[in-house]
Structure 1
């Protein structure tokens, strides 16, 4: 269950602009030392990019995005995660087809509800707590996101181009664009498109797991979990 929730958190991070994520990860190989090091942008361009980013991504942007979409996102994630057939997921996880077939057409949600009458309420509360904590975490990281986006802009735009962007942002239309461009990711159409990823992933996951098993078939089997690990998975905190 915790693996599914971790996957859900990964989906929630999608509203963070890919540009910011890529900027954090942008690296180059140092052929002499064999280490990975970041390319540092030109300081003058970095200084010119910062006021641009402060208008595109002011502090508090992530919380605004989550406040707009949290309930809709939670419903979509839970529905998508647990709509898959339990037998397909069990077989993909290594259960013999005959044993997995005993689950019939029941979904993961059906199986979970049968084992835990409070599953829906427990899942709703758990997801809200996890989303709230993730929102707090992302809010604390926003200065780093601003720095990462500034670095990306500094690499991609010249000083003259950054000045042009600033002049545009000084116009009424530009100011509106700057304040709303990132929040567009939380509009209903965008959320619907992103939520469509979860059911697609759920349907594809059994085949993906089988391919992964085939690709790692030459490796020794992984160590079996000890009793302490198994007990932790079975506790309410691990559901």
Structure 2
């Protein structure tokens, strides 16, 4: 579930430049629809500007590190979780080790999958923007403002307001999941009881 959330956040973060700049984007096509080679070539050029090949892995890390930290802190703010982990130093150390390993595995997986992610993003841009619109995007990203935007966009997850929102969301999510798991366990126990 966490890896899905990371992937969704990453996709959202990478899609933001296009969403913010496209005023008349073409409607999305189905995944099976063929993509014009000229659009795909133009889209690849835009993605290379947004995520320069030499710095892609570092960009992913700078985007995800603060988000993963915020998720960890949000989990610790959930009362039931904080009570269970917070009082027991061994439990806290075990949790920290687990989270560190999960973060490392997530980063390694994303870095290994960068080529396929870049290709997927290129195809997504090609489906949604015309060659002319992709040219406009390139023109913008090559301007001084576009350069500043690209440099700063990957730091948005570490902004204090975004970080606070992520922590609050994770704390609420942990409470909801615990309630849902308790209700599910109760329902399953009733089913087992009814079988007897």
Residue 163 (structure 1) aligned to one of 135, 148, 162: 135
Aligned to 1:16: 10
Residue 46 (structure 1) aligned to one of 26, 37, 40: 40
Task: Please report the TM-score for the alignment, with normalisation by the length of structure 1.
Answer: 0.59
Residue 62 (structure 2) aligned to one of 51, 60, 64: 64
Task: Count how many residue pairs are aligned between Structure 1 and Structure 2.
Answer: 174
Q: Which has the larger radius of gyration?
A: 1
Q: How does 1:186-201 map to 2 (within 5 A)?
A: 186-201=158-173
Distance 1:146 1:43 in 2: 16
Which moves more between the two structures, 152-161 or 198-207? 198-207
Contact 1:19 1:152 in 2 (8 A): no
Unaligned residue ranges in structure 2 (runs of 5+): 16-27
1:41 aligned counterpart, secondary structure: coil
Structure 1 residues 213 and 191, CA gap change in structure 2 (3 angstroms):
same
Distance 2:175 2:70 in 1: 21
- Shift in Å, 1:206: 5.0
CA offsets per residue over residues 161-190 of structure 1, 9 Å max, x none?
Answer: 111111111111112212332432332322
Distance 1:111 1:145 in 2: 38
Aligned to 2:110: 138
Aligned to 1:181: 153
Distance 1:174 1:208 in 2: 44
Aligned to 1:148: 120
Which moves more between the two structures, 173-182 or 39-48? 173-182
Unaligned residue ranges in structure 1 (runs of 5+): 1-6, 29-36, 84-106, 222-239
Structure 1 residues 70 and 109, CA gap change in structure 2 (3 angstroms):
closer
Contact 1:20 1:148 in 2 (8 A): no
Distance 2:46 2:171 in 1: 37
Matched, 1:203 2:167: no
- Shift in Å, 1:210: 7.1
CA offsets per residue over residues 76-125 of structure 1, 9 Å max, x none?
Answer: 23333xx2xxxxxxxxxxxxxxxxxxxxxxx34444677x6510111111
